[in-house]
């Protein structure tokens, strides 16, 4: 069974993740925060259990390297390379993330960036213009500083893979089955919680935003996400 088939059925356990939950070796937790994939809801729930969110490099350098943590939309692999996250913590922590249908996520990003009045997405911008911006690759890569704006439009894989393209998460849940998959996270780390839906961007069903042209653009831009996580337009 390949990765796409597994994740279509719900959250995906990577082999090391199964080992950890069976042995109970770790209570260090690292939430890999993919933009517009229930990140705020997840963080708001975990903060009750001591989760710390670091998003600026100077405070990050004082990271305690223990417990429950997240680094917003910053490049976690880069933080390991910089020595901010110690390899021992990174290797031992239970790492998890959530992903979302790329077509739905593109609409959510568009509505969110317009709502917050980012200059790259002015109020007058149409969804077609936004898709053309994505097609041009007019956004910076995920990095150590650029957690805002168009950098959030990178592939979801950008936040959960290492430099070789290998998924670093022990568990990848789906936005579409959020409650069930978050329960898996809770069971694994030993907490009892339900997850709210915070920072939700209101918009029409994502299918209504697309025409053949914009659908083809998003399919091309997010092809790797579509293939990796088994999503389609419907």
Mean pLDDT confidence for 157-179: 97
Query: In terms of pLDDT, which residue wins out, 192 or 107?
Result: 107
Q: Compute the average pLDDT of residues 158-162.
A: 97
Higher pLDDT, 5 or 234: 234
* pLDDT of residue 172 exceeding 60: yes
Cβ-contact 121, 112 below 8 angstroms: no
How far does Cα 121 stand from its chain's mean position? 21
Higher pLDDT, residue 56 or 209: 209
| CATH architecture, range 3-229 | 3-Layer(aba) Sandwich (3.40)
Q: Is residue 13 pLDDT above 90, yes or no?
A: no
Average pLDDT, the chain: 85
pLDDT for res 66:
86
Residue 55 pLDDT class (50, 70, 90 cuts): low
In which band, very low, low, confident or very high, does the pLDDT at 203 lie, cut at 50, 70 and 90? confident
**DSSP secondary structure of 39-65:** HHHHHHHHGGGT-EE--SHHHHTT---
What confidence tier does 54 reach under pLDDT thresholds 50, 70, 90? low
């Amino acid at each position: 069974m390949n990765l796409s088939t597994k994740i279509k059925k719900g959250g995906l356990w990577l082999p090391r993740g199964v080992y950890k939950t069976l042995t109970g070796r770790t209570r260090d937790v690292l939430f890999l925060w993919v933009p517009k994939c229930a990140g705020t809801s997840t963080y708001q729930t975990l903060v009750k259990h001591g989760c710390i969110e670091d998003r600026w490099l100077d405070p990050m350098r004082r990271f305690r390297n223990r417990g429950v943590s997240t680094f917003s939309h910053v490049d976690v692999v880069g933080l390991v390379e910089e020595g901010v996250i110690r390899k021992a913590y990174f290797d031992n922590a239970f790492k998890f993330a959530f992903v979302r249908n790329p077509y739905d996520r593109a609409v959510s990003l568009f509505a969110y960036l317009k709502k917050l009045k980012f200059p790259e997405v002015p109020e007058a911008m149409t969804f077609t213009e936004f898709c053309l911006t994505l097609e041009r690759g007019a956004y910076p890569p995920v990095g150590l500083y650029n957690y805002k704006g168009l950098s959030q439009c990178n592939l979801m894989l950008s936040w959960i893979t290492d430099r070789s393209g290998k998924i670093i998460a022990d568990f990848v849940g789906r936005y579409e089955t959020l409650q069930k998959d978050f329960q898996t996270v809770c069971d694994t780390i030993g907490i009892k919680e339900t997850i709210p839906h915070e920072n939700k961007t209101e918009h029409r069903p994502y299918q209504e935003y697309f025409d053949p042209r914009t659908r083809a653009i998003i399919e091309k831009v997010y092809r790797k996400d579509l293939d990796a996580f088994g999503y389609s337009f419907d």
